[in-house]
Amino acid sequence: MNHSTGHDIADALGPLLRRSTRAHLYHRLTEGLGEAVDDLTYPVLSGLARTGPSSAADLGREIGLDRTTVTRRADRLERAGLLQRQPDSTDGRATLLALTDDGHRIVVTTRQRLAAAIDSALATWPPADAQAFARLLRRFVDDGPFTPDHD
């Protein structure tokens, strides 16, 4: 066997990975949103939006970062007023990280930017193709070929 669909997809995935590193994409999505928001801090913001108020350790597990790294990135975001630290009423040791309204607004903005970028790339596509692609991509992601170690 010298050919497979996997090979075709790998060929397409190569350029995708090359041109849109997570860092590149996040850099672009967070442009102009203030000094505290960049490709490093954005995953904290976005993860927090997904999980709701969360301890640094839990959030670290969620987004695949060391606990202390989360702490320090959260420091920057806290100074910028995008998240707050709250004592956990059910556990005196824990400190919950929670988005402020401003923090939420940032996440909404970046998500709109991403959707808009994708829409503009798909503007010339037949709607049926675009929807088929969305559906297939979601299934591909759910089938999880590249699950990292921390899951």
Partner DNA sequence: GGAAAAGCGTGCGCAGCGCACGCTAATCTG
Partner DNA sequence: CAGATTAGCGTGCGCTGCGCACGCTTTTCC
Task: Note the residues at the interface with a copy of itself (CB under 8 A).
Answer: 4-22, 24-25, 28, 43, 46, 63-64, 111, 114-122, 124-125, 127, 129-141, 143-149, 151
Helix (H) / strand (E) containing 111: helix 101-121
Looking at beta carbons only, is 86 or 112 nearer to a copy of itself? 112
As a three-state string, the secondary structure of 118-139 is HHHHCCCCCHHHHHHHHHHHHH
Binding partner selected for residue 55 from a copy of itself, DNA, none, CB under the kind-specific 5 to 8 Å limit? DNA
Q: Which is nearer to DNA, 32 or 126 (CB)?
A: 32
Q: At what angle do helices 42-51 and 67-79 cross, to 10 degrees?
A: 100
Give the one residue of 22, 72, 105, 135 binding DNA; rule: CB under 7 A. Answer: 72
The yes or no reply on residue 65 touching DNA (CB under 7 A) is: yes
Give the helix/strand (H/E) hosting 27.
Answer: helix 22-29
Give the CA angle between residues 26, 107, 53 to the nearest 5°.
115
DSSP H/E element including 73? helix 67-79
For tokens 């849109």, name the residue. 20
The position carrying tokens 């790339």 is: 121
71 binding DNA? (CB under 7 A): yes
Return the number of the residue (91 or 102) whose C-beta is nearest DNA.
91
Size of the site for DNA (CB under 7 A): 21
- In the bound complex, what is the minimum distance in angstroms from residue 48's beta carbon to a copy of itself? 13
Q: Residue numbers of the site for DNA (CB under 7 A)?
A: 40, 55-58, 65-69, 71-75, 85, 91-95
